Structure 1
């Protein structure tokens, strides 16, 4: 019978060998690759000491919730930063056209493939031909001409929002008073802009009344794969998947493993669990709308455009593909608009002179008793659009750099030769805080007026740029324009003294609560 000692000893060399191999693979080999520098990327400044040899420093930065803000500071002295083993961040607006512009040879990089579901949607499809096919189908739904047909849906959601606001109005601020008393903070503006954008996109996209604005909460039905229906929180389900991806998706070769292993940690496990509710919410919305379609309802919405072209001919899209498009429509179509609305209202409160100038412009075209601003009356107001764009510039809802991949043969970006198959990006926050914008840290809507403002538009990438720019920007502008014009016309609003907006960067900028005091304006005496 062998001794215990003899049975244990042979395993020691294997354990030691395993440790040596792991150290060599994860630590020594990356350093060899870094110093060998086959692509010549070592000439670019590392954003962190080891960022050229490992993607871990960027993952650590992502966990801080302000990675683009950090890069903004670094880019003031380094126009190009190496943020990973094969990743470059550009801090000069000249790179926008090279990377994102029409005709750019760059394609969406491998991150989009990693994060895609079983079917690609318009935002994550990487194949150019497949993207063109999808965009052709969806362009009819997102066409500018459809705005006139969908305005009544947006107006309806504004009315429902204001029905709640009217019920919680307080007395106006006393003369000379600037800040609201804590007891008068009756509206969480962040939550209600979210309710508004979710209700609006559900109606625009699926002709469905989610009813968040009517109920004042976000509990909705969701559907499991077995067909059973249950209730869950929409807002709690909306952000977890993107949050987890924003923390862990920067090492492409290992992401699938990292994603699974991370669920051993309670924090990541909770994110994964809550994210499953979002998929179930989307499945329920899609299933309900399909039932109506099969029953013969012809509705003017996004779903109808997915199913048929303008001549009534079927598009023959797979059901999984349709569900994927509904998913991104409800997600990106609500999250960014809600963030934008909360941000611009926050800026207007903090800049009373801007708010007064905007009110003067809006009041001049609206009747005193108009509750919802007709889009035709306010869509061309220059200062209103300037306020929206300036807020989007200062705090773009999606601040991080949307990753692209250089073509195999390489290309020039900002005059620098970048080898092929290298990930490149320009952060919207970085671009908008660059030297192209004077006093970039300050809210100055006037910068967008006149010819100088037109020139700045080529550096404005809150909706990205080029062929892969946001297809839903017209809908977002419709919602923002009508909501903000109506809001400043009907109400006065104020924040408590010392309030600061809490922002955490994931794939988007997730905002904290924004409690405000609100009251009806007396347009007859002001």
Structure 2
């Protein structure tokens, strides 16, 4: 038999094997329907057989927006062979509540590093240990000790905005293109990165001073390199969001995809990101060994409140620094850009917020005071409502955070779901339910006021819910409140035109485009100036 015939035979066998595994086997599994998921409507005709439709949808950058439309008809949708998306708000308690038996699913395992951090650890006992270790660092009482770091960064942001102030916009006057001269999205992101680095590591990144996010990364061999932090962070997250489905194939898909230029570019940024928390942790550890006593998150990693060492492995420390720099900056920056964007788009809401801030401050307070103390504005109901309504309308993390049902299965919406099934509810989907949020696509801060507003809180998923809810929400609210109150007290803003729209691309979080604005100093009313 000739070598050519043998080669063809091997090729035929290989091709048949690929066909059986990738095509015929999924079809057989679909019709066997061991988990009984065929009773749920499919997101796409092929969703019960393959995750490819979900991956294609992810590449479109508006996955949750699409699911939200589907959920207007169906409360439960099958998004893949072994995954379900929920749109009924009652499912929040079943999937994410404090008493849920569901755990984080395998997506957190395959995207984790050598050590789990607080956000991706699956084991409940290990999570409880980590949460106990870190809760003291994130406690509300620490906000008082860290507020000066937030104030320092706010002052730097304000001084930069001062440099770009233009002449006041007259009623009916069109915005001049040359006056739209500062990207609010970029500079508030510099703020959150500078703030969390100082709060967490007593590290001065100085992005607000330098006007860029150039930073040093460290390779495993100890050599260093320079890179742009934001690009590395966001492209790393984007690649994962596009390719993580199906889970069992992700490690292979992730590697093979690197031969495609589109993904290879993201991979290079992802690799560069990995070295940033390593370098930041390395520098902070040197200061710790040198005997510096610093009031920051890193100190809580090293020992408990009684001074006893936690004896964490180095990989775990780096992992916690990594998620702190990631989640502690990205989502808050998205929220800051979103809320000002919504207020500019809704001037009547903006005016109400400004009036409330002005009323809360002393009439004789100096006009040149650039930073408003948190204590003066943290209990302002309308200001908080403006923040929460923006977080509702465009939650920084719109993607449904997947959970896995326990081996014995779980009841969700009174329906038994077998063990090992991935279930999720997108915050974007939850927040667009007209039954609880009338005119859900409108910016209406008033919905969060009074007893009616309190009744909405169990359905507010901007920080997730239950035991796995965001541990840093207090810090996020502190930063959002101080910055928003300070800039609304001092400035007025305008977009290039009333119909201008910010670009949004969904990964797990939103990737926001630039937000160029015109900014000018407010002219206070005489009554307020005394």
Taking structure 1 as the reference length, the TM-score comes to: 0.98
In 2, Cα distance between equivalents of 1:47 and 1:258: 23
Work out whether residues 65 and 504 of structure 1, in 8 Å CA contact, stay in contact via their aligned partners in 2: yes
Query: What do the CA deviations read for 1:401-422 (whole angstroms, capped 9, x no partner)?
Result: 0000111111110122111111
Give the corresponding residue for 2:236.
Answer: 241
In 1, Cα distance between equivalents of 2:407 and 2:220: 41
- CA shift at 1:371, angstroms? 1.5
Query: What do the CA deviations read for 1:208-252 (whole angstroms, capped 9, x no partner)?
Result: 110000111111222222222332111111111111110010101
Give the corresponding residue for 1:383.
Answer: 382
Question: What pairs up with 1:1-80 in 2 under 5 angstroms?
Answer: 6-80=2-76
Task: List 4+ stretches of structure 1 deviating above 4 A.
Answer: none
- CA shift at 1:174, angstroms? 1.4
Structure 2 counterpart of 1:280, from 275, 279, 285: 275
**CA RMSD of superposed structures (Å):** 1.1
Give the corresponding residue for 1:223.
Answer: 218
Query: What do the CA deviations read for 1:476-512 (whole angstroms, capped 9, x no partner)?
Result: 0000000000010000010011311100000100100
Question: What pairs up with 1:106-505 in 2 under 5 angstroms?
Answer: 106-177=102-173, 179-366=174-361, 367-369=365-367, 370-434=369-433, 435-497=435-497, 498-505=499-506
Aligned to 2:73, what secondary structure does the other structure show? Answer: coil
Q: Give the paired residue count.
A: 521
Work out whether residues 368 and 523 of structure 1, in 8 Å CA contact, stay in contact via their aligned partners in 2: no
In 2, Cα distance between equivalents of 1:319 and 1:332: 20
Give the corresponding residue for 2:521.
Answer: 520
In 2, Cα distance between equivalents of 1:11 and 1:269: 32
Aligned to 2:2, what secondary structure does the other structure show? Answer: helix
- CA shift at 1:36, angstroms? 1.1
- CA shift at 1:439, angstroms? 0.7
Aligned to 1:9, what secondary structure does the other structure show? Answer: helix
In 1, Cα distance between equivalents of 2:8 and 2:310: 63
Query: What do the CA deviations read for 1:387-446 (whole angstroms, capped 9, x no partner)?
Result: 000000000000010000111111110122111111000000000001221110100000
Work out whether residues 39 and 419 of structure 1, in 8 Å CA contact, stay in contact via their aligned partners in 2: yes
In 2, Cα distance between equivalents of 1:236 and 1:248: 18
Work out whether residues 493 and 516 of structure 1, in 8 Å CA contact, stay in contact via their aligned partners in 2: yes
Unaligned runs of 5+ in 1: none
Query: What do the CA deviations read for 1:356-400 (whole angstroms, capped 9, x no partner)?
Result: 000000011223523211100100000000000000000000001
In 1, Cα distance between equivalents of 2:477 and 2:196: 13
In 2, Cα distance between equivalents of 1:361 and 1:80: 42
- CA shift at 1:524, angstroms? 4.8
Work out whether residues 95 and 413 of structure 1, in 8 Å CA contact, stay in contact via their aligned partners in 2: yes
Shifted more, 11-20 versus 428-437: the winner is 11-20
Taking structure 2 as the reference length, the TM-score comes to: 0.97
Query: What do the CA deviations read for 1:246-266 (whole angstroms, capped 9, x no partner)?
Result: 001010111111111011101
